[in-house]
Structures are given as C-alpha cells and as structure tokens.
Amino acid sequence: MDYKLLISKISGHYKKDLPFVVFSFPESNRLVAFLQKSEQLHTVDNLTENGFVFAPFDYKNSSFFIPENDSENLECEFIKSDIEITPIAVSSDIEEKNRYIKLLNKTIEVFKRQNANKIVISRKKDFLLKDFSIEKLAESLFSAYPTAFRYIWYHPKTGLWCGATPETLVQIENNSFKTMALAGTQPFLNKASVFWGLKELEEQQLVTDSIIDSLQRVTSVLKVSNPHTHQAGSLLHLRTDITGVLKNGKATLTTITTALHPTPAVCGSPKKFAKEFILENEGYNREFYTGFLGPIFENGQSASLMVNLRCMKIEGDIAHIFVGGGITLGSQPQEEWNETQNKMQTMLQVLKPML
C-alpha cells in the first residue's frame, strides 16, 4: 500500500473516533497499522492473542488491546524526510522546578534510610500546538528516530499517544527471549569517546542485576553482554543486552512480561517499594508513560513489547510530554532536572512543525 493512503486511512479512522495503531520497528522503513473495525472495547489479561497491546505503568494484569481479528491490517514502505534536529528552548517554570527538586530531595532521603537504592521520578509538561494533524505527526515521528520503536496509538478510552522508545521490555521468538537493561543518560555530542561516571555505571549495574534477578524464576539460560553506549536521538544511554530461553518451554509471554514490568529503568529497586513511592509521591498520573506496548503474533509465541518512553499524549491542541530519570543516592537534583529538560527534546522535535 502507498504511504499517503495508509496515513489518510488512519486520519479518517481518528476522525471517526475508532481505535488504531501504526508502528515501525527500529531500523525498519516499513509501517504496520492495525485499524480496528468495530467500536468495541477490547482488553486482555493473558498475552496469548494476536494483536497490539497497550498497558499502563500501573498495570494490574489487564491492558488495552487491538485484536488482529477485529482490525484491518495494513503495511507500507516509508521514505523518511530529512529532519533537522535543532534544540528547541524549553522554559523552566520556577514553581514546577522547585516542586520537582523538592521531590528529588525527598527521594534521596529514602536512600539514606536504605529503604531502596533506586527510584525513577518523572513529570509531564504541556505544550500548546498551533497546527496539529495526524499527517504531520506521522511524517516527523517516523522520520526523526529511525533507530527507535515508533508508534501512534489511538483509542477513545486512552486518547492519542505516540512515542519513539529506545527500550525493549521483551522480545520473544518461540522459546528464546531478549531484553535489555537501560540506564544512565548524557547528551549526544558526537565525540569519538564517551565517558560514563560512577553514578551511571553503578545505576546501570543495579538495573542489570535486578532484571536478571526477576528473570531467574521464568528463564533458564541467560547471556549478558557488557554494557555499551546506545544512542537514542540526541541522548546516549548505557545498555546491557540480556538473552536466554524460557524455562522448560513453560514460561509464557505473560509470565515474563509480569516478571519484568515495571523495569528498574522506569520504576526502581526494590520494585514494590519504588512503585508505591512513585504512586504516592509523584503527584500526577503517569497513565501509559512507562507502561508497555507492542505487537503479539502467533498467540504469544512471538512478540516485541517495548517500554513506553520518550512519549506524549495529545489532547486537542495540547501535547503532554512525559519525562523522568533514575534517582540514586549519588543524584544531583539540578542535573536530574536538566536531564528531564533534555529528554523532552525527543518529542519536541516531532512537534516542531506543529508548535
């Protein structure tokens, strides 16, 4: 199918208030779309049906779903346009900044009492759109970040979401799985060598250890790579790849997803304490930011689920951009604030033609 036709079908679906998702895998120039035929609300408890799943951060074993058998499935080639990435100034609201820094200081106090060693704190910021359209959104989203998993999701119950995420939650192919530990952030400055400080190295190791620990119950063989630098748009992260096989063929996409989500890259360690702290203290609802999403094939024998990072929700002429960062005992609140300001650039570049 032709790209323009696919996007105009999606735009028509959006106008009719019908659910759809359009996505592209990292390094792929193919777009895949599921356009739901009915208005029915589909949810799934077990990840064993073919379709596209969209789950919130506060996942309680039920997610939104667009089933393959209730949708028109379309694909097309996408020829990316040249997008110039130039930083967009983000105003620093003093009250918002003070509130955030106060929360970061409160979080650091928790580590001094040794109740946890990492908690991911986040916020959202609103941007006014002058001239929004699905066509412009798709063009810049799919062009700007070819190495990310890019998606636009709409459901009348969730609203319109899109993102370009660098983090895989889990990929499954029969009995094999892949996941990653992603932590540590610095701006991409196009330098030959990249230096990572102790805070980032320790935080990343903590994420790797915690993921391996949560996988012990459901997987039998684990191969863990060395940490390496991963570029995500104008940011760099430290990433470790973890691969293995599911235990005796008994573990499923559902059990491995439940074991991993929410990862310490978006929640913290210990997981239960960090999640409760976030829900009690962050002061806003993350909704689907730091949830997970992705297509499920062959009744869960094959799937690519991603963590919903570098994302935004668009409501009318307002874009809500969600950003966060891992806080540890060594965190400097001012630097963490700057990191969230930088992380906004990923979605701001997508909004550029509409601001």
Ligand X SMILES: C=C(O[C@H]1C=CC=C(C(=O)O)[C@@H]1O)C(=O)O
Contact stretch for ligand X (CB under 6 A) within 34-42, 68-76, 94-102, 322-330: 322-330
Rounded Cα–Cα distance for residues 141 and 151 (Å): 8
Rounded Cα–Cα distance for residues 339 and 120 (Å): 12
Q: Which of residues 278-317 bind ligand X (CB under 6 A)?
A: 309-310
Site string for ligand X, 82-121 (x = CB under 6 A): --------------------------------------x-
User: What secondary structure, in 3-state letters, does 134-183 show?
Assistant: HHHHHHHHHHHCCCCEEEEEEECCCEEEEEEECCEEEEEECCEEEEEEEE
- The distance of closest approach from Cβ of residue 343 to ligand X in the complex, given in angstroms and rounded to an integer, is 5
Count CB-CB contacts under 10 A for residue 233. 21
310 versus 313: smaller Cβ distance to ligand X: 310
- The distance of closest approach from Cβ of residue 120 to ligand X in the complex, given in angstroms and rounded to an integer, is 5
48 versus 231: smaller Cβ distance to ligand X: 231
- The distance of closest approach from Cβ of residue 59 to ligand X in the complex, given in angstroms and rounded to an integer, is 16
134 versus 242: smaller Cβ distance to ligand X: 242
Determine the straight-line distance between the first and last CA of the chain, rounded to whole angstroms. Answer: 30
140 versus 345: smaller Cβ distance to ligand X: 345
Rounded Cα–Cα distance for residues 294 and 154 (Å): 13
Q: What DSSP string describes 215-249? A: HTTTEEEEEEPPPEEEEETTEEEEEEEEEEEEGGG
Site string for ligand X, 59-88 (x = CB under 6 A): ------------------------------
Q: Which of 265, 267, 319, 348 binds ligand X (CB under 6 A)?
A: 265
Residue 323 as a binder of ligand X (CB under 6 A): the answer is: yes
Residue 345 as a binder of ligand X (CB under 6 A): the answer is: no
Residue 274 as a binder of ligand X (CB under 6 A): the answer is: no
- The distance of closest approach from Cβ of residue 7 to ligand X in the complex, given in angstroms and rounded to an integer, is 27
Q: Which of residues 21-50 bind ligand X (CB under 6 A)?
A: none
Q: Which of 325, 328, 333, 351 binds ligand X (CB under 6 A)?
A: 325
Contact stretch for ligand X (CB under 6 A) within 10-18, 32-40, 43-51, 321-329: 321-329
Query: In terms of DSSP H, where are the helices of the chain?
Result: 3-15, 94-112, 134-144, 198-215, 253-260, 271-281, 333-351
Rounded Cα–Cα distance for residues 330 and 14 (Å): 45
335 contacts: CB under 8 Å, gap ≥ 6 = none
The vertex-87 CA angle with 85 and 91, nearest 5°, equals 150
Q: Which of residues 173-202 bind ligand X (CB under 6 A)?
A: 182-185
Residue 266 as a binder of ligand X (CB under 6 A): the answer is: yes
Q: Which of 237, 271, 286, 313 binds ligand X (CB under 6 A)?
A: 237
219 contacts: CB under 8 Å, gap ≥ 6 = 177, 244, 245, 246, 247, 251, 256
123 versus 155: smaller Cβ distance to ligand X: 123
Running DSSP on this structure, what letter comes out for residue 82? P
251's tokens: 């573990």
- The distance of closest approach from Cβ of residue 127 to ligand X in the complex, given in angstroms and rounded to an integer, is 16
Contact stretch for ligand X (CB under 6 A) within 36-44, 79-87, 101-109, 319-327: 319-327
139 versus 339: smaller Cβ distance to ligand X: 339
Q: Select from 206, 333, 295 the least CA-distant residue to 23.
A: 295
Give me the amino acid identity at 221: V
- The distance of closest approach from Cβ of residue 24 to ligand X in the complex, given in angstroms and rounded to an integer, is 19
22's tokens: 């359009």
Q: Which of residues 152-171 bind ligand X (CB under 6 A)?
A: 167
Rounded Cα–Cα distance for residues 132 and 137 (Å): 8
What residues line the site for ligand X (CB under 6 A)? 120, 122, 167, 182-185, 237, 265-266, 309-310, 323-326, 343
